[in-house]
Amino acid sequence: MVKVKNIHKYFGHLHVLKDLSLDIAKGEVVVVIGPSGSGKSTLLRCLNYLEPVQSGEIWIDGIRLDHHRTNIRAVRAEVGIVFQSFNLFPHLTAIRNVMLAPVVVRRRPDAEVRKEALAMLAKVGLQDKVDAYPSQLSGGQQQRVAIARALAMQPKLMLFDEVTSALDPELVREVLDVMKQLARDGMTMIVVTHEMGFAREVADRVIFMDEGRIVEEGTAEALFERPQNQRTKEFLGKIL
């Protein structure tokens, strides 16, 4: 599903991703952990071309991202992303937030999309908040709307960029529950997070990144219980 080959990414002179390679199969749930500045968010943002890479190749479902003939909008429609700061559209209600992209990008009829949006919002547990504006919702509710919005485009891949980091602790659980259900339903997911409990429960693979490289990867159990690399051990020591 996702093939990353030897990518390098620079921000000006800062070498953020160094010769990174990664393969993710369909239906796999991959959790990426690492210290801040390790490049994990950047990696995610490269996967839907919010950030271009300077060298290397990225393939999403058989389509090469930086090829000049690639319709990047079509690719983005197949890749859903949820941000740390939610980025909901404040001038639209929850349901309109969810409906906007399918109606405008896929040009589907309003009534049809509305039915699906209602189902989507019900799936994340917000059937009562359909006509609420983002400012009327809690952080956890906003983030769940953001997930529903991304899911409304029926993506093949979902990216989660530290989606619970900005939430109050008591609101984290509701968002993680939605994500766990998604994983169980077979969605291909790449999740950047600090929530180790989540990783243990649903991750097929955990990747530890540091200073722009993948240092170690393995199953959640293997990485957390028996880390091989020194840096991995240090990082885990600090957070577990």
Binding site for another protein (CB under 8 A): 48, 50, 73-74, 76-77, 79-81, 83, 85-91, 100-101, 104-105, 133, 135-136, 146, 149-150, 153
For the chain, what's the residue count?
240
The helix/strand/coil state of 221 is helix
Q: Is 120 helix (H, G, I), strand (E, B) or coil?
A: helix
Q: Which is nearer to another protein, 1 or 103 (CB)?
A: 103
Strand partners, 160: 82, 191
- Residue 107 Cβ vs another protein, minimum distance, rounded to whole Å: 11
Question: Coil, helix or strand for 80?
Answer: strand
SS3 content of the chain, % helix, strand, coil (to 5): 40, 25, 35
Q: Which is nearer to another protein, 36 or 135 (CB)?
A: 135
The token duo for 36 is: 């801040």
Which amino acid is it at 164?
A: T
Cβ proximity to another protein: between 74 and 122 the closer is 74
Q: C-beta of 17: minimal distance to another protein in Å?
A: 18
CB of 14 to another protein, least distance (A): 19
Q: Which is nearer to another protein, 166 or 236 (CB)?
A: 166
61-to-55, 77, 155 alpha-carbon distances in Å:
19, 12, 11
CB of 73 to another protein, least distance (A): 5
